[in-house]
């Protein structure tokens, strides 16, 4: 019997209009958007549906917005395919919080509040440190680590073969981009992000996130949830708390997380939330597995049809 893992999108996947067709066509989805606005005391749904883009892109809005749309996609899939059983969850950076909520580690509302605070704290850290990030395409991990060491920056995302992301000061990133090109990278380009995510420059956000996590109950996961920090399943609630704080400054080990699931016999992956970034990563990691996605009603229908055909 095939094993299914749910994958949740991370920051950068946001797009104006995300989740709108769910809210317009599914009463249950509309209630989740209304609940999010009530919990936060702010019109997050309006920002998701209407933008403007510069408002949605702000870390303080993008993080809870993507969490919300990922959760709504998850609930819509459960409603449309009640027979579906999933055996693990994982999420890219911010998406790890949605993955944990899907496994019952914390409630939707508690996760949303923590994610909103995480976004606020990380935005403050961005403004205080003036860092940046860059994508490095076509360079292996070891060579990229050497580049990082020489430039004084850090590996932030190990996404898939041939695609790594580095993070650090703006000066360090500029130097690393030139070094990477000189070492044979196909491309090395600065990213349009607010700061140096998953680097030591995000350390100012950790104390506040620690406090936010202490304020919510954390439960044992109902299914394994893969940690970005370790690329292995989370442990006890206290360990989950610690890893989520560490995650802010640690590299996202996405490829290793997926390879762990592949080694455990997972053959079906369903990406939930805006965009198909994780689907693209999966195709570069292992093209032989089934990858579905739910980002809107059209993709939900296709995924439900594929699940039906497989049963």
Residue 100's contacts (CB-CB under 8 Å, 6 or more residues apart) are 89, 91, 106, 111, 221, 225, 234, 240
Residue 267's contacts (CB-CB under 8 Å, 6 or more residues apart) are 2, 3, 289, 290
Q: How far apart are the first and last CA of the chain?
A: 10
CB 27 within 8 A of CB 292: no
d(CA 14, CA 144): 28
Residue 199 host element (H or E):
none
Residue 156 host element (H or E):
strand 154-160
Q: Which of 45, 167, 198, 295 is catalytic?
A: 198
Active site residue 198: yes
Active site residue 227: no
Q: Which of 45, 93, 167, 257 is catalytic?
A: 93
Catalytic residues, which ones?
93, 198
């Amino acid at each position: 019997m095939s094993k299914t893992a749910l994958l949740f999108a991370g920051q950068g996947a946001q797009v104006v209009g995300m989740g709108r067709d769910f809210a317009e066509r599914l009463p249950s989805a509309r209630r989740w958007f209304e609940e999010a606005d009530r919990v936060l005391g702010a019109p997050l749904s309006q920002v998701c549906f209407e933008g403007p883009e510069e408002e949605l892109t702000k870390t303080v809005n993008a993080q809870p917005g993507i969490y919300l749309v990922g959760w709504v996609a998850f609930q819509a899939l459960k409603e449309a395919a009640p027979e579906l059983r999933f055996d693990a969850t994982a999420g890219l950076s911010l998406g790890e919080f949605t993955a944990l909520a899907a496994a019952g580690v914390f409630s939707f509302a508690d996760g949303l509040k923590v994610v909103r605070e995480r976004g606020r704290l990380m935005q403050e850290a961005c403004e205080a440190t003036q860092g940046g990030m860059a994508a490095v395409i076509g360079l292996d991990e070891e060579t990229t680590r050497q580049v990082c060491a020489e430039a004084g920056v850090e590996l932030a995302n190990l996404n898939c073969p041939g695609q790594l992301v580095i993070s650090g000061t703006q000066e360090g990133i500029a130097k690393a981009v030139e070094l990477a090109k000189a070492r044979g990278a196909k491309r090395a380009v600065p990213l349009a992000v607010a700061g140096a995510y998953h680097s030591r420059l995000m350390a100012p956000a950790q104390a506040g996130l620690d406090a936010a996590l202490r304020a919510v109950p954390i439960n044992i996961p109902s299914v394994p949830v893969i940690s970005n920090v370790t690329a292995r399943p989370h442990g006890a609630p206290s360990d989950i708390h610690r890893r989520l704080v560490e995650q802010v400054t640690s590299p996202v080990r996405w490829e290793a997380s997926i390879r762990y699931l592949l080694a455990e016999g997972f053959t079906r992956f369903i990406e939930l939330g805006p965009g198909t970034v994780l689907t693209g990563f999966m195709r570069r990691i292992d093209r032989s597995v089934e990858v579905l996605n739910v980002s809107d009603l059209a993709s939900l229908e296709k995924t439900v049809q594929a699940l039906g055909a497989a049963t």
